[in-house]
Structure 1
Amino acid sequence: MKANVDRTRSRRLTLAAVGLLAACALSTPAALLADEPRRLPMIDDAVAASVSLPTVTPVVYQPFIGIACEPGDDPLAPRYEVGALFDKGLFIRGVDPERDPYAMYIGGRLQVRHTGFARSAETWTDSAGVTRTIRNRNNFDAERVRLNIQGTAVDPALSYYFILDGDSDGASTADFLTFFFEYEFDEACRLRFGRWKIASDREWLLSSRFLTLADRSMATEYFRGAFSEGVWLLGDFGDGWHYETSFTNGLSTSTRRPSDLDDNLCVAATVFWEPLGDFGATFVDYDCHAEPVVRLGASTAFDKSDDRSDAGFPGGDDNFVRLSDGTRLSDLGVLGPGVQLLGDRVLKSSLDFGWKYRGWFVSAEWFLRSIQDLTATGPSVVSQIDDHGYRCDAGLFLIPKRLDVIGRVSHVSGPFGDAYEYAGGFNWYWGSGKRDGKLADPINKFTFDVTALDGSPVSTTTADLFAGDRGVLFRTQVQIGF
């Protein structure tokens, strides 16, 4: 009796299941039953195979990234692409720049450095009569931790560039080191506006990615300008001629508030000529030129600083200008007992020369600076200060694109004393960018140098130089960039 009941119940369940399947088949949209390349929703392959329905083949859509397609666009054709390029970083950009001129490249760079300094004197006395201690140093630090963002927007000729910078010297904080927009009218005329380097001095304008040793020379650090906000005009005239001009708030004003600025502007210009072909982005002959290449250049800059105490502005320079013994020109007592600078005129110029051939290179620069029309809170002991100096780097590759050795000498001379720098070191390039089928590039490298200092006239944390330094400086650095 029980068996009959079980069989009856089984027949009823079977009929109910068949009825349910028939109802599902009748209620299934025609689009799912058609021979279109679509997948049944929420049904896996095993279940679908057990059901008597047409075979369903999934469609593999090509992925694309971008803004909404225009009417009539092929939805399978990508408008934007994602990838990576050496020395540019990760990117997203339009496949057709004329149609979609938007692009963004995100790259980065890190310099980790160990610095050691053994002093040969314990103190030095500046021109204001203040005696200061010379300290031994032994420390690790992250010198340049940078995120670069660049690309194009609105128009293929309109580009932008931002650098977010941080380092151990800046209390591990990050800020925008530089930022600008640039519009290219043609090769001979590009207009740039934002914050960038003033257009003067060849080694200063060289990217810190490509420095010959761990950092720039003592002479360049003494005579150079810095970053400032303003407008730039630059371009290529053809036949190897290049130029750049800038109109900025000052020689170095990127860390100053607008309320601390007077109503004067700094004017700077540089020009260089490469008569034997493209000199390249670096001073060293990384590409081992089969034929010699030469670069000849000149730079100049003029800056004014006036007393604006009547308008509530602080007088004097921006503490960037120093004397040849390392004293800041704006320090109290430099121009006389109890006297402090209110205003000045700075005119500076430089000439530079570069040569490369078969792994050898020479890069040299001569500087001249004149500080005139000094105004102060009292009678000044000087009315004009003239300084000059030079730097020279030379070296060769012992192993092409892998190992080079470099020597350097630089000198600063002025009425307040002379200073000398003698340095030597090497770079080992391990490479991460692909060139000629090999992994090699001039950015990713290990650097070691030794520098003898006889009275540094400048303080700069990027080069690990401090005013008055006398002794031997050791720097070991690893640089990684992409």
Structure 2
Amino acid sequence: MKPSLVALMVSAALVLPGQALAELGDARAEQLAKELAALKAMKAELDAKSREFEQRIETLEAEVSEASPEAATLIAADAAANSAAASAAPAPVKQTKPAAKPEKGESGVFEPGKGFVIARDSMGELDISAFTYVRYLNQDGFDDTYTDSFGRTSTLDLRNDLQFQKITLNFKGWIFDPKFRYLMYAWTSNTSQGDPAQVVLGGNLGYQFDPAFNLYAGIGALPSTRSTNYTFPTWLKNDHRTIADEFFRGSYTSGIWANGKLAEGVEYRAMIGNNLSQLGVNAAQMDGEFNTLSGALWWMPTTGEYGPGQGLGDYEHHDEFATLFGVHFTRSREDAQGQPGTEGFENSQLRLSDGTLIFRTDPFMTGGDIRKATYQMAAINGGFKYKGWSLEAEAYQRWLDDFVTTGPIPVNSVEDSGFQIQGSAMVIPNRLQAYAGYSQIFGDYGDPYDVSLGVNYYPLDRRELRLNMQALYLNDSPVGYSSVPFQVGANGWAFTTDVVLAF
């Protein structure tokens, strides 16, 4: 063969197999690429399904927790057991409600009713919650002056202002033993700066012996009416009551109290305290005896519950007809020195139905003063919630007697009665609520009343943030102080707009 022909044949023998291999490699690469794309698509689909399952699980757990705390406890215990099996770390402490799943990088979780769980391990739990709001208040619709039933005339200092109204910070949980509970709080109202008890630091300690018996000691609200029986802040109004409730109720004091569940849907709370209202009163002003007793018993016959804190309004939308009936009774021996100042924060003053303080100098204009008096007050209440609608009512009867006086007064006792009624409807579920309220007091020195019309708007479809707008009409209000929108002697309209954060 010629050398050129040999070279050609050798080159062909070397080049053709290489081309075949290259073609084979391209085909394999294309096949692998298709398989890889298919696997990635499958993984994306599985990830989407997994996220969907997790969201559904969290939704169902929240629904179960809301409907049945007992079922929620079982879910939490099951989750703790699964976590312990998968890891050597200690299982989380069993909770009444399952914690929301934390996002990556979070140091805690948010649980409705607790706030943010900052720390939780085998030694204890620390939860932080807050209540605050900004209020615009316009009282220009009130009369400038007021004359009481004895002819005394006073001038009202009408307000038209914007205030960062109140701040309450709560630190709560348990320590060493889940049954040993603590609550510590800081509480102030900017409208009360300079008044007695303008800043309150308080709290209480307790031990949960049994569902039927829990014992606490410290500062707490006397269960004198429904609004002082731990329903706050789940009210229709924001951070104030009707004038009848305000007139008859007790307030916060130091003492010891017990609460518990006597049967399905039947609960109680009973308290022994220092006086009707200790905020703004120092220990030297107290009479040194436990002269205040207060108790409440309530029954929820149809569903065994009445929403968070047995509060007002059916934001939670009961599909079953929920009902509540309650009775309250309070007795307290009060003296002039042990009463808070007239502008005392969350004060509870003993007044006649025209607003006259019974412990003021010469209250009846007969030359006599009252130095001591016995307060007794009974209240009954009832209400229902159904599919976003609610109706709540409460009636009051109060007796003041056993007076210790200096100089003459024209009466041996004073008796007053009254009532309140509040109704609401969720116009848009989870978003917009409308309400109306009316209350009246019947006494020997006047029959004052109030009317309220308002709306609550929840921009995030959550209870923790709302815009409250209210029109309030007052006729001879016998109560009032700087941290509420009404004044003693107020006649006319007041308007409030509040942005409220409560978690």
Q: TM-score scaled to structure 1, two decimals?
A: 0.76
For residues 3-402 of structure 1, the aligned pairs below 5 Å read 77=89, 82-87=107-112, 88-95=114-121, 100-127=122-149, 129-171=151-193, 175-176=199-200, 178-214=202-238, 215-264=240-289, 265-277=291-303, 278-281=305-308, 282-305=311-334, 314=337, 320-402=349-431
Q: Separation in 1 of the partners of 2:406 and 2:188?
A: 38
Q: Which amino acid aligns with 1:344?
A: A
Q: What is the Cα deviation at residue 134 of structure 1?
A: 2.7
Q: Separation in 2 of the partners of 1:380 and 1:280?
A: 47
Cα deviation digits, residues 281-339 of structure 1 (max 9, x gap): 221111211111100000000001358xxxxxx48787611111111111111134332
Greater helix proportion: 2
Q: Separation in 2 of the partners of 1:127 and 1:424?
A: 29
Query: Is the contact made by 2:319 and 2:387 (CA closer than 8 Å) also made in structure 1?
Result: yes
Q: What is the Cα deviation at residue 80 of structure 1?
A: 8.2
Q: Which amino acid aligns with 2:300?
A: E
Structure 2: runs of 5+ lacking an equivalent: 1-86, 94-106, 343-348
Query: Is the contact made by 2:350 and 2:358 (CA closer than 8 Å) also made in structure 1?
Result: yes
3-state SS, counterpart of residue 448 of structure 1? strand
Q: What is the Cα deviation at residue 375 of structure 1?
A: 1.8
Structure-2 change in CA distance of 1:385 and 1:147 (3 Å): same
Structure-2 change in CA distance of 1:79 and 1:290 (3 Å): closer
Cα deviation digits, residues 214-263 of structure 1 (max 9, x gap): 33211111111110000001101122100000000011113211110113
The residue aligned with 2:492 is 471
Query: Is the contact made by 1:210 and 1:443 (CA closer than 8 Å) also made in structure 2?
Result: no
Q: What is the Cα deviation at residue 79 of structure 1?
A: 8.4
452-461 or 127-136, which deviates more: 127-136
Structure-2 change in CA distance of 1:480 and 1:247 (3 Å): same
For residues 385-464 of structure 1, the aligned pairs below 5 Å read 385-431=414-460, 440-464=461-485
Q: Separation in 2 of the partners of 1:238 and 1:126?
A: 48
Q: Separation in 2 of the partners of 1:182 and 1:171?
A: 31
3-state SS, counterpart of residue 346 of structure 1? strand
Query: Is the contact made by 2:189 and 2:483 (CA closer than 8 Å) also made in structure 1?
Result: no
Cα deviation digits, residues 23-63 of structure 1 (max 9, x gap): xxxxxxxxxxxxxxxxxxxxxxxxxxxxxxxxxxxxxxxxx
3-state SS, counterpart of residue 227 of structure 2? helix
Q: Separation in 2 of the partners of 1:198 and 1:206?
A: 9
Q: What is the Cα deviation at residue 406 of structure 1?
A: 0.4
3-state SS, counterpart of residue 281 of structure 2? coil
Cα deviation digits, residues 377-413 of structure 1 (max 9, x gap): 1111111000111110001111011101101001011
Q: TM-score scaled to structure 2, two decimals?
A: 0.73
Q: What is the Cα deviation at residue 157 of structure 1?
A: 0.2
3-state SS, counterpart of residue 313 of structure 2? coil
Q: Separation in 1 of the partners of 2:447 and 2:163?
A: 30
Structure 1: runs of 5+ lacking an equivalent: 1-74, 308-313, 432-439
3-state SS, counterpart of residue 469 of structure 2? strand
Structure-2 change in CA distance of 1:132 and 1:180 (3 Å): same
Cα deviation digits, residues 82-105 of structure 1 (max 9, x gap): 41214423334344xxxx231111
Q: What is the Cα deviation at residue 480 of structure 1?
A: 1.1
RMSD of aligned residue pairs (Cα, Å): 2.2
Query: Is the contact made by 1:252 and 1:318 (CA closer than 8 Å) also made in structure 2?
Result: no
